[in-house]
Structure 1
Amino acid sequence: MTTAAPPPAAPPSAPRRPGHADDQHLVRFGYRPQLRRDVGSYASFAAGFSFVSILTTVFQLFAFGYGFAGPIVSWTWLIVLGGQLTVALTFAELVARYPLSGAIYQWSTRLAGPRLGWYTGWTMIIAQVITFAAAAIALQGVLPAIWSGFQVVGGDPALGTPSGATNAVVLATALVLLTTAISVIGVRLTAVVTSVGVTLEIIGVAAVIVLLLLNVERGPGVVLDVDGAGFDPTFGAFLASGLMAAYVLVGFNSAAELAEETTDPRRTAPRTILRAVLASGLGGGLLLLAGLMAAPSLDDGRLATEGLPYVLTSQLGPVGGRILLADVAIAVLVCALAIQTAAARMVFSMARDGQLPAARVLGAVSPRTGTPVVPSILIGLGGILVLVVNIGQPGLFTALTSVCIVMIYLAYLMVTAPMLLQRLRRPGEFAAGHDGFFSLGRWGLPVNAVAVAYGAAMVVNLAWPREAVYDPAGDSPLLRWSAVLVVLAVVAAGVVARAAVRRSVPATAAPGVSVPTPATSQEGAAR
């Protein structure tokens, strides 16, 4: 089988390590192996788990979700986890077939053609840059609580104040510079830092859960306690509270973004994607439950404004709380690093195909480190630019988080929807695994259909113009439409960028050349 896909900017050549099966497989796609395969199974899992980073995101967003519907926010966690698991299952199938950097760009291209593939990659790059900045901002909720000296600009450290928002930009910029330096040095250091950080994060999550459960104020029935917590949530409030889980449980595809740097990616990446989702879902769910059970009060307003840090410091004291917050700071570091790494691979993959401006520069790999250096620097600069725009604008931070997640869900949908159409048009296409690689078999169609329905519904839910989400201060009604306006702006910018790329195509690549797709039954027979 052949499918239309953009060709590489450089012609295929022999693998860097003759006889290496992974590199030989990459050559069959028409790509010259350039990236170093220094990522093992645990580092691949760490890439997906650290992007989700429940210790970062649940701490950062617990108050946000609780403020809408109270304790029943825990039920929305289960719903979102179920929906995202169906997406992860479809991604696991795809990475077993197409273990390529820039995963969802490559998948969308091979499922629906180069045009949709390009917009999928473009949308994901912009979303990852914004997500990178939003993750780095989480340091503001952690470091000043550990030591007041981290509030370098003075004033109130609360993120919702101008002084807190400005200080968040300072801390986040320092973090971006650090992660960029790590990324440029090479994927081996990135893998080590991520693996160590994820190990500490898992230990921290377990410690927080155990310590909170040892200091409970109420039983697990709290998840059904609405009236006692002072909430009378409507269905709309329930949907809004689900945004917290939607914000957290994304990014597990990062394991696939490192496929060309992973050993045996067709077997490793599907497993690590699913492990990242399941581990994040279980750990995050228990963290939510333990926080609700240990909170000193459900109705004094502090849980809806201060979230889990309030519970920790109240129950464990300032010293114990600060120790655990230090672990959260490490989780923020590896989360930001994972996002930057994934985004850099997306830029590299599109540039290698001649699908971005300055493709020759962006598609280059350092011969010394085997790392796409320029894309890493570009993502770092993009993150800083997003941060600078938000100086002294506390109302924009929540909108920033919401907008980037909308775009990630859109990018996911631009993969799962074409895959569903392929299943309907060619029922046997994904009916069974090839050579023992991951496949959903006969469950593929219903799982894929649920993934598409869930993704479409969540895009609408995320983008809905809620004042409490996009304009909590009530400063500008226009902010309520931030998600829709930003998505339209990204599409418009994409039209301009793609037109510029197409004008320069003769100098980079000839589009429309068929690229062999090795993950087919024909290949299996040949083997």
Structure 2
Amino acid sequence: MRDSISTGAAGILAPAAEASSDAEDLARLGYRQELRRDLGSLSAFAAGFSYVSILTTVFQLFVIGYAFGGTRFFWTWPVVFLGQLAVALNLAEVGSHYPVAGSVYQWGRRVSAGAPGWLSGWLKLVGDVVSVAAAAIALQAILPSVWGGFQLLGGDPSLTSRDGAANAVLLGAGLVVLTTAINMAGVRAMAWVNDVGVMAELGGVVLLVGALFLHAVRGPEVVLSPVYGPPSSLGTGAAGLLAAALMPAYVLYGFDSAGSLAEETQNPRRIIPRAILKAVVASGVGGALLILAALMAAPSLTDGRLATDGLAYVVVSALGPTLGKVFLVDVALAVCVCTLAIQTGASRLAFSMARDGALPCAPALSRVSSRTKTPVAPAIAVGALACGMLVVNYGEAQLFVLITETAVLLVNLSYLLVTAGMLVRRLRGWPGRAGGAAAAGVFSLGRAGLALNVAAVAWGVALIANIAWPRRDGESAWMEYFPVIGVASTIAVGLAMYAAMQKRGREQVALPERRTSAAQIDVAT
């Protein structure tokens, strides 16, 4: 880690004394202030909310829930929300104790020694890179419905068709290039775009939910009376509902990304926990209302279109082509901001790991631009890798879906590594005065901490088991087990990489200036 304190100018949005205090606090955690502290509470909230982006993900994944659970899939949303809220509460607490760029990596390595701590960051990084591509590809589900001219290749916009898959790669790659450029421009530009986008998304959710309620053709009791579309191979019992729960599980993650911007946020010990929790609560409430409104306003619950065309069909059918397309434009904006937020979080995570020597090409990835005070190389690397992932969709759209499922597993597994490490430390008396840091302003779960920590770990195990559970639905055996194979392969590659860095670190142990490395990842006590 770097130990000296930067004496550069303070962020323009905070008094000099507060900026100095934040820099001193960061120094106590082992780093000097290199990034620009320009972000306030709105931008921190926007980072977490944009990653979840209910307009992006609910529109993209509504078909999964309805295909497996029918109208009853609504009830999987509050269950998953409460489970993820328990996780978020624990991440908010550890994030307040360790307000350092890199979120899950920094939290994991400080509550778990050695490989488990490093692995939490590695799994999250791989999951984030794939999630950038998955978010960008959602443009194909929106833009051709707004205007046929966005279908630049061929005539069939369906994501499962060859034309649609190819066009999705083109639109997605263009979006990733744009978000990479915004990230390279600096945190001010990123925050401005993100803030505007989040306000537009929040306003769009409120207006869309209100408009769908006004055009409802049935009452809210629709979620109490089981109605199904085309029959699922999993049936209509518990197996179908467990499969339907994959939809909210795919939506409600990524709220930790506010923590990745901790070194660019004013008073992060106070703001970051609130941003994480606000992002989860806003997404949970907004998503539940959106799903309920869609089920009430859908022209038909049994014609099969809810399980194939999803929310875009409901919006255009219920509100008409003109107003419906206005809302779809807002959804497209949400997709763009979502992609930007995920890429930003991933680039800060890569920067944080590289700064500790915990990634290959660490010197380049840990370099901060003297002009923008932003790590440029990680943004370019994440963007390039995401574009590479997009190409997979061109050849096999179903394979891209399976890779996305694997990414969701990786991110939630990284959360589990952190909450499990916290539980072990908590049983030994954590948090106390962690790391000798000033206790003032630190968010604490108090006496409820142990119970909420146990709940978060139990929920994480159950969620991961449900996502990874093989479900044969007309797929080949290798596709059925692909997410499990993907996670196992990512862990194996990560452990091999960690072992290699351990060996290199031992060889360089004589260098006195190398206070902390991947081979010497410490655990704050």
1:501-520 alignment runs, 5 A limit: 501-505=501-505, 506=508, 510-511=516-517
Q: In angstroms, what is the RMSD of aligned CA positions?
A: 1.9
What CA distance in whole angstroms lies between the structure 1 residues aligned with 2:129 and 2:107?
Answer: 20
- Provide the secondary structure at the position in 2 that maps to 1:504: helix
1:328-407 correspondence to structure 2 within 5 Å: 328-407=331-410
The residue identity in structure 2 corresponding to 1:47 is A
Alpha-carbon contact 1:30-1:515 (below 8 Å) kept: no
- What is residue 323 of structure 2 aligned with on the other side? 320
Asked if 1:103 is matched to 2:95, the reply is: no
| Contact persistence 2:72–2:227 (CA under 8 A) | no
Find the counterpart in structure 2 of residue 265 from structure 1. Answer: 268
1:79 and 1:228 map into 2 onto residues whose CA distance is: 20
Unaligned runs of 5+ in 2: 10-15
Instruction: Report the Cα distance in structure 2 between the residues aligned to 1:65 and 1:298, rounded to whole angstroms.
Output: 13
Question: Offset of 1:14 from its aligned partner?
Answer: 4.0
8 Å Cα contact 2:3-2:27 kept in structure 1:
no
What residue in structure 2 maps to residue 222 of structure 1? 222
Question: What's the counterpart of residue 275 of structure 1?
Answer: 278
Pair 1:199 & 2:216 matched = no
1:195–1:392 CA distance, 2 compared to 1 (3 A): same
Q: 452, 456, 462: which one pairs with 2:461?
A: 456
Q: String of CA shifts for 1:264-316, please: whole Å, max 9, x gaps.
A: 00000111110000000010000000000000010100011111100011111
1:12 is paired with a residue whose SS is coil
Alpha-carbon shift at residue 430 of structure 1 (Å): 8.3
Q: One-letter code of the match for 2:462?
A: A
- Per the TM alignment, residue 437 of structure 1 is displaced from its structure 2 partner at its CA by 2.3
Matched, 1:415 2:418: yes
Tell me by how many angstroms 1:352 deviates: 0.4
Measured in 2, the distance between the counterparts of 1:397 and 1:113 equals: 34
Per-residue Cα deviation, 1:43-72 (whole angstroms, up to 9, x for no partner): 100000000000000000111111001011
Match runs of 1:237-316 below 5 Å:
237-316=240-319
Q: Distance in 2 between matches of 1:72 and 1:294?
A: 16
AA aligned to 1:327 is D
**Preserved CA contact (<8 Å) 1:201 1:327:** yes
Amino acid of the structure 2 residue aligned with 1:437: V
Q: Which moved more, 1:212-221 or 1:222-231?
A: 222-231
Matched, 1:434 2:426: no
After superposition, residues 77-96 of structure 1 pair within 5 angstroms as 77-96=77-96
Measured at CA, do residues 146 and 514 of structure 1 come closer, stay the same or move farther in structure 2, by a change above 3 Å?
closer
- State the alpha-carbon separation in 1 of the partners of residues 39 and 272 from structure 2: 11
Native 8 Å contact 1:134 1:400 kept in 2:
no
SS of alignment partner, residue 481 of structure 2? helix
Paired residue for 1:525?
none
Instruction: State whether residues 343 and 379 of structure 2, in contact with CA within 8 Å, keep that contact through their aligned partners in structure 1.
Output: yes
**What is the CA-CA distance between 1:95 and the residue it aligns to?**
1.2
Aligned length: 504
Pairing 1:107-256 to 2, within 5 Å after superposition:
107-227=107-227, 233-256=236-259
Normalising by the residue count of structure 2, what TM-score does the alignment of the two structures yield?
0.92
Which residue type is aligned with residue 446 of structure 2? G
Query: Residue 209 of structure 1 contacts residue 287 of structure 1 at CA under 8 Å; is this kept in 2?
Result: yes
Query: Judging changes above 3 Å, is the alpha-carbon distance between structure 1 residues 516 and 500 closer, same or farther for their aligned structure 2 residues?
Result: closer
Change (3 A) 1:460 1:15: farther
Aligned counterpart, 1:523: none
Letter in 2 for 1:53: S
Match of 1:444 in 2: 449
| Alignment deviations for residues 7-45 of structure 1 (CA, whole Å, 9 cap, x no partner) | x1x442344348511011001111111000111110100
Q: 2:274 & 2:419 partners in 1: Cα distance?
A: 19
Partner residue, 2:29 = 29
Instruction: Pick the aligned partner of 2:5 from 13, 30, 43.
Output: 13
1 CA distance for matches of 2:417 and 2:302?
41
Give per-residue Cα distances to partners, 1:327-371, cap 9 Å, x unaligned: 001000000000000000110001101111111111110011010
State the identity as a percent.
49
Aligned to 2:500: 500
2:73–2:241 contact (8 Å) kept in structure 1? yes
SS at match of 1:391: helix
Q: Tell me the distance in 1 between the aligned counterparts of 2:348 and 2:239.
A: 38
The Cα shift of 1:114 comes to: 3.3
Partners in 1 of 2:388 and 2:523 — Cα distance? Answer: 39
In structure 1, what is the equivalent of residue 12 of structure 2?
none
The aligned amino acid for 1:446 is A
- Work out whether residues 127 and 408 of structure 1, in 8 Å CA contact, stay in contact via their aligned partners in 2: yes
My pick for the range that moved more, 491-500 or 167-176, is 491-500
CA distance in 2: counterparts of 1:203 and 1:66, whole angstroms: 25
1:509 Cα deviation from its structure 2 partner: 5.6
Query: Could you tell me how far apart the structure 2 residues matched to 1:293 and 1:194 are?
Result: 31
Unaligned runs of 5+ in 1: 1-7, 521-527
Is the CA contact (8 Å cut-off) linking 1:46 and 1:194 kept in structure 2?
Answer: yes
State the Cα distance separating 1:139 from its structure 2 match: 0.3
